[in-house]
Amino acid sequence: MIVDGVNVIRELLRSNIRVEKILAEKTNNAEITKLLDKANAMGVKVEILAKSDLERIAKAKTQGVIAFVPTYRYAEVKDILLEAERKNQKPFIVILDGITDPHNLGAIIRTCECAGVHGVIIPENRSCEVTDTVYRTSAGAVAHMKIARVTNLTRTINELKKQGVWVYALEAGNKKIYQADFTYPTAIVVGSEGKGVSRLVLENCDETLSLDMFGNVNSLNASNAGAIAIYEVVRQRS
């Protein structure tokens, strides 16, 4: 996989993801120079190319530097729970039900990483996977986040519930998100951009929570709604 951008590659070098090679155009850009110096110090292969050659390899315009990394390696759900245990914290998980836009997926992952979410769960079908666009939109947060990809979201939700995790669907309902108690082990389900949380998933969640709406438009972008819910958990746990 090819990823593009100084911020993304910087986070990759800080993570456990192996950077196979970095290609950069000849430039006086201080940020790129600093990045390449770090890569060289870490023993990562670095090559300097003409801008036209770099864009030919990337098959797109770039920010002047690209990196080759292995296809993203997904975690297991148990790894997410172990991450919470390792930090001596109550599990905090975000479940994404049918997010197909890589920009939304990247934005949500970025919020999750900043907020200290222990892991993100996505389904294998009818969902965006981790791509170079997700890397870029997340500003490299993907490199630090445990993401599990499961075959059956409903089954996974029920397994989490058996382990004491309270699962909330973010969907229009009577109970407001500010009325929930997130100090317990918590999973927040964010639905797709158009259809929201699917029926089977909704039926298997413990509760449905909604956000207050005061305008003429009755819904928020998935990444924005998810961010509000995630930071309500942070607020309560702080």
Residue 206's domain is classified under what CATH number? 3.40.1280.10
* Model pTM score: 0.91
Return the C-alpha torsion angle 14, 141, 89, 93, nearest 10: -150
pLDDT confidence of 11, banded at 50, 70, 90? Answer: very high
CA–CA gap between residue 192 and residue 127 (Å, rounded):
9
- Which of 73, 49, 68 lies closest to 8, judged by CA? 68
The reply to whether 118 and 229 lie within a common domain is yes
The reply to whether 148 and 206 lie within a common domain is yes
CA–CA gap between residue 57 and residue 69 (Å, rounded):
14
Q: How many domains does the chain have?
A: 2
Rounded mean pLDDT of the chain?
93
Residue 187 pLDDT more than 90?
yes
Contact 68, 21 (CB under 8 A): yes
Contact 169, 209 (CB under 8 A): yes
The reply to whether 95 and 165 lie within a common domain is yes
Residue 158 pLDDT more than 80?
yes
- Tell me phi and psi for residue 236, to 5 degrees: -65, -40
CATH number, domain with residue 34: 3.30.1330.30
User: Domain span at residue 125?
Assistant: 77-237
The pLDDT, as a whole number, for residue 221 is 87
Range 1-23 average pLDDT:
93
Range 25-35 average pLDDT:
91
pLDDT confidence of 217, banded at 50, 70, 90? Answer: confident
CA–CA gap between residue 209 and residue 175 (Å, rounded):
5
The reply to whether 150 and 59 lie within a common domain is no
**For the chain, percent of residues with pLDDT exceeding 90:** 82
Render pLDDT for 116-149 as a digit per residue (tens, 0 to 9).
999 999 999 989 999 999 999 998 999 999 999 9
The reply to whether 40 and 152 lie within a common domain is no
The reply to whether 31 and 118 lie within a common domain is no
The reply to whether 190 and 229 lie within a common domain is yes
pLDDT confidence of 209, banded at 50, 70, 90? Answer: very high
| The pair of three-digit structure tokens given for residue 238, joined into one six-digit string | 């702080």
The pLDDT, as a whole number, for residue 159 is 98
The pLDDT, as a whole number, for residue 30 is 93
> Which residue did the predictor score with more confidence, 173 or 204?
204
Render pLDDT for 56-99 as a digit per residue (tens, 0 to 9).
998 888 889 999 999 999 999 999 999 999 999 999 999 999 99
The reply to whether 62 and 92 lie within a common domain is no
The pLDDT, as a whole number, for residue 3 is 93
pLDDT confidence of 212, banded at 50, 70, 90? Answer: confident
DSSP 103-154: HHHHHHHHHHHHHT--EEEEESSSS----HHHHHHTTTGGGGS-EEEES-HH
The reply to whether 95 and 213 lie within a common domain is yes
The reply to whether 222 and 173 lie within a common domain is yes
The reply to whether 53 and 113 lie within a common domain is no
The reply to whether 52 and 100 lie within a common domain is no
Length of the chain: 238
Contact 118, 83 (CB under 8 A): yes
Range 35-54 average pLDDT:
94
